[in-house]
Amino acid sequence: MANDSPIPVLSENIHPFDARGVARRFRHSAIFGALSALHPGETMRFCNDHDPIPLLRQIEEQFGESVNIAYVSRVPGEIVIDFQVVG
């Protein structure tokens, strides 16, 4: 399947999620829904226009150690973070 996203994806287990195209009032709900839909071993590659530090805290509170969080890029205006479900 072709990847038309500006977010680099190198594996079929990585699913791009570009939050910049989601209305701000719906972003957190959409992100939590997407994370909940992932299976162990899958990753959501998240792109946003700012560093979502409060969101990261919420994800850690809700998912705990079952989701690994790793920055891929911290370029201003294009923050890329991998959320990998581990169990």
Annotate 28-57 with b (16+ C-beta within 10 A) or e (fewer).
Answer: beebeeebeebeeebbbbbbbeeebeebee
Topology of domain 14-85, CATH = Translation Initiation Factor IF3 (3.30.110)
Q: How far is CA 81 from CA 49, 61, 65, in A?
A: 12, 17, 16
pTM: 0.84
pLDDT tens digits in sequence order for the chain, 87 residues long: 444 445 555 677 899 999 999 998 999 999 999 999 999 999 999 999 999 999 999 999 999 999 999 999 999 889 999 999 997
* Contact yes or no for 75/85 (Cβ under 8 A): no
In angstroms, the CA 23 to CA 20 distance is 8
What are the residue boundaries of the structural domains of the chain, listed by start? 14-85
